[in-house]
Structure 1
Amino acid sequence: MLTPAAFNIVEQFQDATRRVLNPRIRRHFKDIPLDDDFGSDRGQLKIACFHQDKDSLLLTCGRLLLFLILLLDQIISLILGLLGGGVEDGLKDQYNIRAANLPRVVLNFGQSEESIPKGTYGVPAEVSFRLVSFIKFKKTGQSGNVPNESDLQQLAARIRNEFGGNFSFIKGDELYIYTAPFDGFFGSQVYAYNKSEAERVFIALCRVAGKSYDPDLLKAGLHPNKRSNSRPTENVTTYDGTKKEPRWRPRVRVAFKNAICDVGLVQPVVLVDASGILANPLVRIN
């Protein structure tokens, strides 16, 4: 294909970026209708990503990189929420068939930025349950209801009411498991500092699920508790050489970050976001 005589590859790159990227930025920030909203963190991020005609090539590349980082951060958060980071439903064999088609709700927690030691990563935590009143997929003639947006809006509102008011708990080295399969708790697990901390989480979670909490159904894990290793001093051998022994800091206060729901789509529905990172939640906590 012949190119125009006055063709400028830099201008073409910036024009294509503006035409293709800006509509996607608007979709990503559709909860921020204005293009000049300086009053919120997400509004500031939208302004920082939005490409302007007068932008230099360096600024264009910077905006593109920032938007890609935001997209990658969201994808990683959603994937980790679905995979469960090692603490998920704890499904028992006899419940697998019944639970597999039930929407899974995952609540994610994390350290506040100011409490993370320099040079380390924040400690995450999660807990989940299943919606026994709904199913992910419904065949013709099959009984059961697939949740709609109104159903998930109500669920998100309950999560906001229970966990949105600066809810936090102390994650610890003791594993606690709550098993009430007919209520949607197929061996739901949480690492907590003690039983009282675990109970606070599950009592609130039962209220979200619309079920009554039964203290007799909360059991401590049978395996030995993990030991803290907050100041490792030894080197360990790895695939590509040696490095400092990994840190393990189990006793950390973690606060509510977001809640998502796996309804059988490629990406889960973001129910609630208190982090300001996830795009288009049903409920946002500022």
Structure 2
Amino acid sequence: MASNYIELFQSFCRRYINKAVNKHFRDVEQTEPDDLSRSTPRPLIKRICLHKGKDPIVLTVGRLLVWWVEAKGLFDGFIYGIPSTDFEEKFTYYPQVQLHFKEERYDAADNDRIPIRSAISFRWRETEYTTSNIEALKNKIKSQFARPPFSFDRGRECWTYWDDKKGYRFTLYVQNEEEAKKVVSQVVDIQDSESPD
């Protein structure tokens, strides 16, 4: 009786999971598992994920695990939004721009820890969302934060800056007030020419 359930399970994997695998890897031209390259990552992962009729149950489960990791992107870094109920009510239709910071891995290694990550977000108050406006925003962010690279010192002091009319609500954990002002000024300058209070 158990073998019938195993066959049913494997039949399901070949019929439905293989369909999802082929859809996920539609950029990989070959469809026959044995014809897929072993030297390049995507064809190799597709080859590993595709179920075959003669697979033992352990291999079927292994293929499912690899597929689950690939399909869910478990090795990619997640970026989470910052939901806030009353803030969302006031600024529902403004896109949220998130800036992510990560400590240099060498600095973290010197302190014997993993790199610290930070994020700061604001609402983009543009009236038209055209390609040129988005490109201008991208270039402004790049000039403010990437060239030269912007850095600040995380700390234990909590500083806040709120300006609901402009869509700013920052809570910063930095070393001191000067660091907080530096971060807030840099972010606010992306879309407002006047300095924050």
Instruction: Work out whether the TM-score is over 0.5.
Output: yes
The structure with more helix, counted as a fraction of residues: 2
Aligned to 2:180: 198
CA distance in 2, matches of 1:69, 1:105: 24
CA contact (8 A) 1:90 1:189 kept: no
Over alpha carbons, which structure has the higher Rg?
2
Structure 1 residue 193: Cα displacement:
1.3
Q: Identify the residue that residue 22 of structure 2 maps to in structure 1.
A: 22
Contact (CA 8 Å) 1:111, 1:123: kept in 2 or not? yes
Match for residue 137 of structure 1?
none
The TM-score, its normalising length taken from structure 2, stands at 0.59
The answer (yes or no) to whether the contact 2:163–2:169 under 8 Å persists in 1 is yes
Give the structure 2 partner of residue 279 of structure 1. Answer: none
* In the alignment, structure 1 residue 65 sits paired with structure 2 residue 68: yes
Larger RCO: Structure 1 or Structure 2 (Cα < 8 Å, ≥ 6 residues apart)? 1
How far apart are 1:186 and its partner, in Å? Answer: 3.0
What residue identity is the alignment partner of 1:102?
Y
Structure-2 change in CA distance of 1:54 and 1:113 (3 Å) = farther
Q: 2:99 aligns with which of 90, 107, 126?
A: 107
**Where in structure 1 are there 5+ consecutive unaligned residues?**
1-6, 28-34, 135-144, 218-286
Question: Which consecutive segments of 4 or more residues in structure 1 shift more than 6 A?
Answer: none
Letter of the 1:212 counterpart: S
CA separation of 1:186 and 1:167: change in aligned 2, threshold 3 A: closer
- Give 1:207 deviation, angstroms: 3.5
TM-score (norm 1): 0.44
**Rounded Cα–Cα distance in structure 1 between residues aligned with 2:105 and 2:65:** 24
> Which position in structure 2 is the counterpart of 1:240?
none
Aligned residue pairs, count:
172
Cα distance, 1:11–1:98 mapped onto 2, change above 3 Å: closer
Whether 1:208 aligns to 2:167 is no
Residue 79 of structure 2 is matched in structure 1 by: 77
Alignment of 1:225-240 (within 5 A): none
Separation of aligned partners in 2, 1:175 and 1:186: 16
Is the 1:25–1:49 contact (alpha carbons within 8 Å) kept by the matching residues of 2? no
Pair 1:169–1:18, CA change in 2 (3 A): farther
Aligned residues: CA RMSD: 4.3
- Report % sequence identity: 17
Match of residue 162 from structure 1: 144
Give unpaired runs (5+ residues) of structure 2.
1-6, 28-35
